A and B are shown apart, each in its own frame.
Chain A
Amino acid sequence: MTNFNWLLDGSIVGLYLLVTMAAGLYVRKYVGKVDDFLVAGREMNVYLGIASLAATEFGIVTCMYTAEAGYKYGFAGATPGIAMALSMLVIGYTGFCIKPLRDSGVITIPQLIEKQFGPRIRWAAGVVIVLGGLLNMGVFLRIGGQFLVKIVGLQVTSFELWGYQIGYLETIMTVLLIGVATYTILGGMLSVLITDFLQFVVMSAGLIAVTLLILIYVGWDKLVATVEANYGAGGFNPFVNPDLGWEYVLFQVLLNFAAVLTWQTTIARVLAAKDSKTGQNIYVRTSFFFVCRFLIPGIWGIAALATLGQVTNTLDAMPTFLSTFVPVGLMGLCVAAMLAADMSTDSSYMLTWGSVIYNDIMAPLRKKEWSEKKGILINRMIVALIGVFLLFYGLWYPLEGDVWTYLGITGTIYLASISVLLISSCYWSGANSWGAAASIILAAAIPVAFLVLEKTPATRDLAKSIGPYYSGIAAYVASALAMIVFSLLKPRKGGEV
């Protein structure tokens, strides 16, 4: 049973979708150059940047895994949010890497990396970024669909069309993806920024309303008592939680620092800013949002634990709780907010990974310069193909294992090496292509090896004894050491670095 009313709540959701699509399509006429399509002509100012960064980095998948962290670990599950906020504040305040990156006028990180390490490393970095990014994004649609099906209470899972059984989850997400892809393909970053702004407003209104409802009707005392009863002191302090510990905290610090520095969808806001000062301001002023990003859904997860008790599928606990807790009318706002969160994330991610394919994988291989018109056409085709990939990988390929481990591993393949390459290219003139290649190979090999150990029955116990946090820390440390050792090992010719 759910409180979702198709007439009232459905109308609210429909109105939101209509306004978003209209706004996204309206601005396509302003796209004149590849720069307009990929970085909005670098005309983005601070407040639009804050809205866009917040909307991009909060999708349904974010809400689901952060709520699950609250459900499974209590308040201690919000630790990654604190790590990310502090990382963003420090990097934004000091301009560490992001100032030279924005001042260089590049569109993507590998473009800057090429200046120090050469075109082959740029190409390899582009491949690693796209591979990590697309595999990471591959699960977004399915998780988003699961949330929506659960919260609107679709009891029947499929319907018949021309003799075929079609799943509701697949249908909902396919229609949603086509809508997002349409305005992203036509308007590029301009459409993404305008719709991000609308989506930030709707998303925030829904998140705040549901959180206030929980604090009023479930109550702070009950939330604290639930965490204490289920997890004791470990529910408040990650260092004493038997499932987390110092290795979890250290891994989160490394992961989130690297993500703030090099996750292309995040850094795209700095690159689209008017100048490096605006980019730094966006980071400083958005940093605390990342505490909210983990803590607010975390409280939803704790409220689900307080209301439902222990359930088998911890990922479904939060939407199951919301489906009966949020009243009619507000449910429409809640669903629109989650749709807004998901659409802003999907559009940004499609455009961003597309920009790396265009700028760092395809462009270096071309024989002669492409015209602006051809460049925009190729970018549009890439975004469309990414949409097709997402449909088949995300919707028709079932995910095994838990979401956070999957996201952490696919993210680390990319983050561990690219963060080391970016820092080296900004601040160490002695770094060279040997170090960069070794860094990329080791950073990818360690998480992939851990994944193989985990999936192989004979070595599953060994993988469990190592754990994902030690494996993740090893990837970052090995990547940095490889850069230093192999850069020093490379023989130097006259004047070469």
Chain B
Amino acid sequence: MKYFWLVLTLTAVGWYILVTAYVSYKGVADIKEMLRSLAAKNRSG
């Protein structure tokens, strides 16, 4: 079981670092798209 937790811990930390970097980068585009879409809705009445 010790090795199970070692592998899970290393996977969790590694995965978290990668996901944080990737989501931080891609999330900005998502925000821009969401605000652009809402602004278009507001403009169209």
Contact = CB atoms under 8 A, between A and B. Distances in A.
A292 interface: yes
Contacts of A397: none
B20 A50 contact: no
A140 B6 CA distance: 31
Which secondary structure dominates chain A's binding surface? Answer: helix
A295 B37 contact: no
A46 interface: yes
A296 B13 contact: yes
Interface string B4-40: 1110110011011101101110110111011101110
Given A208-B17, A236-B5, A291 B23 contact: no
B37 A43 contact: yes
Given A46-B30, A47-B27, A208 B8 contact: no
Nearest to A74: B5
B27 A44 contact: no
B3 to A, nearest CB: 10
Interface residues of B, number: 30
A197 B35 CA distance: 14
A288 B17 CA distance: 13
Contacts of A36: 38
B17 A47 contact: no
A8 B4 CA distance: 40
B16 A296 contact: yes
B11 to A, nearest CB: 8
Contact of B38 (A190, A200, A289, A296): A190
B2 A236 contact: yes
Interface in A48-63: 48, 50-51
A205 interface: yes
A215 interface: yes
A30 B35 contact: yes
A32 interface: yes
Interface of A: 27, 30, 32, 36, 40-41, 43-48, 50-51, 75, 190, 193-194, 197, 200-201, 204-205, 207-208, 211-212, 215, 220, 224, 233, 236-237, 288-289, 291-292, 295-296, 299
Interface of B: 1-2, 4-6, 8-9, 12-13, 15-17, 19-20, 22-24, 26-27, 29-31, 33-35, 37-39, 41-42
Nearest 10 pairs between A and B by C-beta?
Answer: A236-B1, A48-B30, A47-B26, A204-B20, A45-B30, A30-B38, A75-B5, A47-B27, A43-B34, A292-B12
